[in-house]
Amino acid sequence: MSVDRPLVVWSDESLAIVDKPAGLLVHPAPGNPGPSLVEELGPLLGGGTDPDRPGIVHRLDRETSGLLVVARGPEAHKALSAMIAAREVTREYVALVEGCPPSRTGRIDAPLGRDHRAPERVVVGGRRPRPAVTHFEVRERLSREALLDIRLETGRTHQIRIHLAGIGHPILGDAQHGGELARRHPARPPRLALHAAVLGFAHPVSGEPRRYEAPLPDDLAGWLTALPRSSTT
């Protein structure tokens, strides 16, 4: 399967903003063959102690599209990593989920840890759970789905996917965490219906506020347009 190339939205000597296509790994990983963002960007990246992950300060799942900030040198890598740890980077997503939450807005506070029986899996609770908080707002109600705007307060592995599945509204196309609801839904999305739409932070060198937005890519946008809307107002 061919994968689109990442788009460098903006860059300077310290960092770059990248729009990652779905299907592209952020960095090489055991058991996950295929091209990666690190391989595609090559010498643009720098900083950090892991030679397999130069410049990487946060990640998106392979099937998630959208925006990341990457470092181009050690000083920027250190500063951006500290900002993310201090929750000073705004990360907002768009997701299409099964059903619709009963309230227009919500806050999910459910620590995530490693499954005791399958350590490769992340679950609510689990071994050595770490705080995880996700905020959501219903943007649009469809006939049997809802389009949500999501803001991360923390950034744990698969956090959005696990949290939304945990409240009974899994992301469509999420075979790993969505269970039967997501797998057997008749809408059949082209891939995981999750997109990193907004990234905001203060530039680690100049302090200038920066905010970037990425519209839904064509695969999700076209599919979403074709879904039936609710007949109620």
Residues tagged active-site: 61
Distance CA 85, CA 77 (A): 12
- As beta bridge partners, residue 91 has 199
3-state secondary structure of 45: coil
Instruction: List, in sequence order, every beta strand (DSSP E) within the chain.
Output: 7-11, 15-20, 65-71, 90-98, 105-109, 112-114, 122-124, 127-130, 133-141, 145-152, 194-202, 209-213
Give the whole-angstrom CA distance, residue 118 versus residue 98. 26
- In eight-state DSSP terms, residue 142 is B
Q: Round to whole Å and give the CA distance between 11 and 153.
A: 25
Do 106 and 117 form a contact (C-beta atoms < 8 A)? Answer: no
CA 224 to chain centroid: 18
| H runs (alpha helix) in 73-158 | 74-85
